[in-house]
Amino acid sequence: MTNLAYTGNWAFSSLQDYAECPHRFRLGKIDKLPKPALPPDNPLERGNRVHDCLEHYVKGDLDTLDGCEAKAIDKFQALLDKARAQYSEGIASVEENWTFDRDWEIVERDDPGLWLWSKLDLNVRDELGLKTVVVDYKTGKSGYKAIQHLKQMQLYAAVTALRQPWADFIHVELWYVDEGHTNSRLFTRDQALAFVGRFEREAKKIYADRHFKPNPTKETCRWCPFGAKNGTGACPVSVR
């Protein structure tokens, strides 16, 4: 394989993929190798279905949450009903794509200079109170993901501060809809903007890399789409 630079855009998941295994990132994002189709019971597929259900419930397209696969969805009924009312009032939005260029300026999704892509599950705005709430739905188990989730909250705070400059206070919440609990952090605008430089440095590591060295371990290879055990076997150094 020739050494190639990455020229696409990134999201928080890109930072995580690259940190776990740069070579896996390359196979998927640069070489664009095919991945195996995911079965319906795959956690990612199930997570997508849960997100779709919650989106349509908040938007008023569904009357009940009876078909939602989230294991603890009953504990979020009141929160989702409140979000549903706020959406109908026009102060909440769902599944918005917030996109930025390399200068962290807001751009449209089809802009050729698109660099950072963030998707917000739920955003509730209180412009009179100078505060905004950003929510991300989490499926599956949260164990051992505390640091990862904190970093994600920090990135959400940063992009929200850029997207909504009127907000002095930014609440970022993770709703663990399978486990029945939430994680909430409050950031001031200055605190949120302070994260921009850190994430820019992390992202630039991807764009500066020319080798994308593999990190073969049982954990990184276990669910790799290019691995020898559960993937296509395209990675030559995959650990079974």
pLDDT digits (tens, 9 = 90+) for 69-96: 999 999 999 999 999 999 999 999 999 9
The Cα–Cα gap between 116 and 138 comes to 21
Under 8 Å between Cβ of 171 and 134 = yes
Q: In this predicted structure, what is the pLDDT of residue 2? A: 55
Tens-place pLDDT, residues 163-189? 999 999 999 999 999 999 999 999 999
Q: In this predicted structure, what is the pLDDT of residue 230? A: 83
Q: In this predicted structure, what is the pLDDT of residue 42? A: 87
H/E run at residue 56: helix 43-58
The Cα–Cα gap between 37 and 15 comes to 23
Low-confidence ranges of the chain (pLDDT < 50): 1
Give the pairing type, strands 181-188 and 169-176.
antiparallel
The pair phi, psi for residue 177, each rounded to 5°, is -75, -10
Q: In this predicted structure, what is the pLDDT of residue 1? A: 47
Of the chain, the percentage scoring pLDDT greater than 70 comes to 99
